[in-house]
Structure 1
Amino acid sequence: MDFDTVRTFVAAAEAGQFQEAAAELAVTQQAVSKRIAGLERDLGVRLFTRGARGAELTIDGQAFLPHARELLRVSERAVASVRTGRRPLRVDVIASRVAPSGLMRDFHRAHPEIELDVLMLFDVDRAVAALRSGEIDASFRAVAAPGRPLPEDIESVRVLDEPLQLLTGPAHALARARSVSVARLAGHRIWMPGVVPGTEWAAYYDDLTAEFGLTIEATGPNFGSDALLDTIADTPALATFMGEHTRLVWPAGHGLRRIPVTDPVPVYPHSLLWHRDNPHPALATLRAHLAAAAAAPGGADTWTPKWVRPH
């Protein structure tokens, strides 16, 4: 059913005159008559009777009118849902407790007038495909992982270098250290069941272990952060890495320690990705906000893999 025809029907019903409906729609009276006649043929009923007082709705026309109005309201909502600037800005933050989620919370506090849809896409290939299709407007990723160059139509900018910390239980040998050098971690078991082969963070930790001779164990099922914290708290032989901005809460009795890693400081590089031709006006606002909030890039005392794009 043609929406212009439905719109013409509603205008004629409300005006009570085909001539007035034509003036409102900026078409000829003949065009209004032809549209109404076509709609009547499609429906198989008479919608108007023409008389001295103008065009009056038949019983069938009266029955159809509220549904016609609803059709127009639905079509307007459908158009508004994808119209640039009218729909929410859709951003992938990977997971709810990691640094990108915090960056978006800060953005929302600074710009509460901008509607947001926050998504969590695990795989970088899935995220890039969603950017290219327009399913999402932006994604936070580490770029560019080995063997996964970004397509030419995907732009990126480094927005946060997040220092790694060592998380230990109270009985771990390093639990009382105020900081710990990367070299000092050699020989200690670092347990990270969330490091999934093929992910960008797996590539990051592969390079970290190769560079400094560390031992990262990704064995066992990943039951989530709560189970990880329980294990680290109860097992003196294990520690784990987490980003400085990762938000975790654990019971007071766990006695967990977050210890800065130094000499050099391993930093995880978070970049914002978007499609070159994305027209959403809030995307520029997000980029400006992240640029203003970004700390100065790490210097010679920090480490990232060689495949990470520079600032």
Structure 2
Amino acid sequence: MDTKAVRSFVRAAELGQLQHAADELGVTQQAVSKRIAALERELGVRLFTRTARGVELTLDGRAFLPHARSIVAAVDRAITAIRPGSRALRIDVLGLRSAQAVILHDYWRSHPETDLDVVTLRVDDPRVAAAAVEAGEIDASFRTVTDPGLLPRDVHMIHVFDSPLELLVGPRHPLASARTLTPSRLRKLRIWVPGIAPRSEWGEFYDELATEFDLRIDAAGPNFGDEVLLDALADSADVATLVGARDRYVWPANHDLRRIPIVNPTLVYPLSLMFRGTNPHPGLRAIIDHFAGLKPFPGAVWRPSWATAPGRGDGNNRQTRSRIAPFGGTEIL
């Protein structure tokens, strides 16, 4: 079986577009198409169907994907075994405009010599990302398995960053002129967060947030992307959404959207990093140190029950906390 074809299939499945897979692999879209077509002939099944937005896995493609990932990971491990540290540090983020990606970009701008590969796994269940870390497909993932007992044995998870939430509204919204807001002022608002997926960490986060502060979180409708959401906010006098303070959003100037910090307490989305405990990538320590150096937020902070602040813990903390120790080992704190 042609491992280049298998790798092309995996990247196309994760990115959802052949052109994006081709760009990442450094080949033409035609080359990716030919590789996948040859793989389909060898397997005797169709792996993808074409859509207006790119490609989607068939049922056979979904069944083949975890095995294909294992093949790619095995090849990468074999190469790494004879060339330790030669592969780029591959880190999964929730989105390329997310706070994690923004902070990673800040780090890379200060350390351009870092060989960094930032990817976004097209999965909602963080346990799938943990399995990808265990298999060696990625070196680390900014995801949280809220029950650490479900982590694979060799995957460790540390809390690295808190992303404070802001209310994002259009210029006609009643709260558009506010400079800050307390959580109590969000009650009865329609806070639209489309696309909350079952079993996702953000699904658990919004469930607990809504219960704690009696908020109306509306997840109705499919997620058509940030542009559609921003357009809806600009046109509405009653719809709002929640975004991370460091998340990067771009909208037309005439939208005149407003980002309003939430304080007393600051509502934060906790971000964790998962990585292998055995032989972690040598470039990972510097990334963890960079996140550890971020300034904490002053004042009262609310986090969901399954999270804790970096460097802090209490008897109710259910999250595994660890650090990379000298000589590539891992110390559990």
Using the size of structure 1 for normalisation, the TM-score is 0.70
Aligned equivalents of 2:148 and 2:235: distance in 1? 38
Question: Contact 1:182/1:264 (CA < 8 Å) preserved in 2?
Answer: yes
Partners of 2:173 and 2:192 in 1: CA distance? 13
- Give the stretch that moved more between structures: 172-181 or 298-307: 298-307
Structure 1 residues 133 and 260: alpha-carbon distance in aligned structure 2, compared to 1, 3 A threshold = same
Structure 2 match to 1:83? 83
Is the CA contact 2:195–2:219 (under 8 Å) kept in the aligned structure 1? yes
Q: One-letter code of the match for 2:118?
A: V
Aligned to 1:97: 97
Which has more radius of gyration? 1
Q: What amino acid sits opposite 2:129 in the alignment?
A: A
Supply the AA of the counterpart residue of 2:136.
G
The separation in 2 between residues aligned to 1:263 and 1:144, in whole angstroms, is 28
Shift of 1:153: 2.2
| Equivalent residue, structure 1, for 2:46 | none
Instruction: Report Cα offsets for 1:25-81 as digits up to 9, x if no partner.
Output: xxxxxxxxxxxxxxxxxxxxxxxxxxxxxxxxxxxxxxxxxxxxxxxxxx9xx8469
Structure 1 residues 85, 154: closer, same or farther in 2, change over 3 A?
Answer: same
Pairs within 5 Å for 1:89-238: 89-121=89-121, 122-123=123-124, 124-141=126-143, 143-145=144-146, 149-238=150-239
CA distances 1:74-101 after superposition (whole Å, capped 9, x unpaired): x9xx846972211111100121110111
Aligned to 1:306: 305
Q: State the Cα distance separating 1:144 from its structure 2 match.
A: 4.1
> Counterparts of 1:81 and 1:96 in 2: how far apart (Å)?
30
Alignment partners' CA distance in 2, 1:278 and 1:106 = 26
Q: How many residues align?
A: 232
CA distance in 2 between counterparts of 1:183 and 1:147 reads 32
The letter for the 2-side match of 1:302 is V
Is 2:127–2:151's contact at 8 Å kept on the other side of the alignment?
Answer: no
One-letter identity of the residue aligned with 1:291: A
Residue 299 (structure 1) shift: 6.2
Paired with 1:215 and 1:151, the residues of 2 have a C-alpha distance of: 35
Map 1:233-252 → 2, pairs under 5 A: 233-252=234-253
Distance in 2, matches of 1:289 and 1:147, equals 24
Equivalent position SS for 1:284: helix
| Whole-angstrom CA distance in 1 between matches of 2:209 and 2:203 | 10
Tell me, in whole angstroms, the C-alpha distance in 2 between the residues paired with 1:146 and 1:215. Answer: 26
* Aligned-pair identity (%): 45
| Inter-partner Cα distance in structure 2 for 1:173 and 1:247 | 24
**Residue 40 of structure 1: aligned partner:** none
Contact 1:130 1:136 in 2 (8 A): yes
In structure 2, relative to structure 1, the CA distance for the partners of 1:276 and 1:80 (3 Å cut) is closer
CA distance in 2, matches of 1:91, 1:188: 36
Letter aligned with residue 207 of structure 1: E
Question: What letter is aligned with 2:303?
Answer: T
Give the secondary structure class of the aligned counterpart of 1:239. Answer: strand
Deviation at 1:265, TM superposition (A): 0.8
Are the equivalent residues in 1 in contact too, given 2:127–2:150 (CA < 8 A)? no
SS at match of 1:262: coil
Distance 2:165 2:149 in 1: 24
- Secondary structure at the aligned position of 1:170 is classed as coil
Judging changes above 3 Å, is the alpha-carbon distance between structure 1 residues 82 and 262 closer, same or farther for their aligned structure 2 residues?
A: farther
Amino acid at match of 2:210: T
Displacement after TM superposition at 1:157 (Å): 2.2
The CA deviation at 1:149 is: 3.8
Q: CA deviation at 1:181?
A: 0.8
Contact (CA 8 Å) 1:158, 1:270: kept in 2 or not? Answer: yes
Q: Secondary structure, in 3 states, of the residue corresponding to 2:132? A: helix
Letter in 1 for 2:128: R
Which aligned runs of 4 or more in structure 1 are off by greater than 4 angstroms? none
Q: Give the TM-score taking structure 2 as reference length.
A: 0.65
Q: Distance in 1 between matches of 2:182 and 2:287?
A: 35
Please, which runs of 5 or more residues in structure 1 have no aligned partner? 1-74
Alignment match, 1:50: none
